[in-house]
């Protein structure tokens, strides 16, 4: 292939990857809400890129489950029912529980120190500090996930983690619910520090199901109102 064509192809790939990340972030952060119509021209203008990488990005996000595409209707941010989300959390509990079990024998001392420090920061947050709650929670869970030492497990788990962020699950956190999450983080960290994979897995699953009950309950309430 001529060098000019290779360079052009490389630029298109880079632009498509960048577009995918920009649109994914907008969905996960809730700036593009479930059901929102995704128009290529509008997205290209908003992000300052051409329509081709936007089109390719939407195909990638469709494969990931964040975008729906219907013939003659275009693409939309995928909306999920309470039952969909319940199924998703069942899978997330299995994956994150397994990740915690693996991480118990693989995390090094620096990573354990980071988890302890994350627990301290999380415990000092106010329920209104939504962006900080999200950031600290993601860092805590990602440290454990990456510590499990499986690229495939990371890829599969992160797909189950993104959707609750799309639905802004943290906006419903009360002071008590934030306290319960902080308690789970501390208990998980203690199990990991003790290299107790069984306990780390069990507590992680309980933690995920606690979050599930909160989000699914609210989505069911919204569905009842809509009906």
User: Closest by alpha carbon to 217, among 178, 186, 173?
Assistant: 173
pLDDT digits (tens, 9 = 90+) for 15-60: 888 899 898 888 876 788 788 899 999 999 988 888 999 999 999 9
In the predicted structure, residue 7 carries a pLDDT above the cut 50: no
Query: What pLDDT sits at residue 2?
Result: 47
Residue 159 CA to residue 169 CA, distance in Å, equals 16
Query: What pLDDT sits at residue 168?
Result: 60
Query: What pLDDT sits at residue 204?
Result: 97
What domains appear along the chain, each with residue ranges and CATH number? 3-77 (1.10.10.10), 82-226 (1.20.120.530)
Q: Residues 76-92: what's their mean pLDDT? A: 87
Burial of 160: CB neighbours in 10 Å, binned 0-12, 13-18, 19+ = buried
Evaluated on CA atoms 35, 86, 133, 106, the torsion sign reads negative
Query: What pLDDT sits at residue 97?
Result: 97
Query: What pLDDT sits at residue 6?
Result: 45
CB 15 within 8 A of CB 8: no
User: Closest by alpha carbon to 126, among 84, 186, 178?
Assistant: 178
pLDDT digits (tens, 9 = 90+) for 118-155: 999 999 998 877 778 888 988 999 999 999 999 999 98
pLDDT-derived band at 84 (thresholds 50, 70, 90) equals confident
């Amino acid at each position: 292939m001529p060098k000019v064509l290779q360079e052009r192809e490389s630029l298109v790939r880079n632009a498509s990857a960048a577009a995918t990340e920009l649109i994914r972030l907008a969905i996960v952060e809730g700036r593009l809400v479930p059901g929102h119509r995704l128009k290529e021209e509008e997205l290209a203008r908003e992000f300052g890129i051409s329509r081709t990488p936007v089109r390719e990005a939407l195909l990638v996000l469709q494969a990931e489950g964040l975008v729906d595409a219907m013939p003659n209707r275009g693409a939309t941010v995928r909306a999920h029912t309470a039952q969909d989300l319940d199924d998703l959390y069942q899978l997330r509990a299995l994956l994150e529980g397994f990740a915690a079990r693996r991480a118990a024998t693989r995390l090094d001392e620096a990573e354990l120190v980071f988890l302890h420090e994350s627990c301290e920061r999380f415990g000092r947050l106010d329920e209104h500090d939504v962006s900080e709650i999200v950031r600290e929670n993601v860092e805590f869970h990602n440290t454990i996930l990456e510590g499990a030492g499986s690229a495939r497990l990371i890829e599969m788990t992160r797909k189950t983690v993104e959707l609750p962020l799309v639905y802004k699950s943290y906006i419903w956190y009360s002071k008590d619910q934030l306290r319960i999450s902080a308690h789970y983080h501390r208990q998980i960290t203690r199990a990991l520090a003790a290299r107790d994979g069984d306990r780390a897995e069990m507590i992680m699953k309980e933690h995920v199901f606690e979050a599930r009950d909160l989000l699914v309950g609210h989505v069911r309430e919204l569905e009842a109102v809509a009906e």
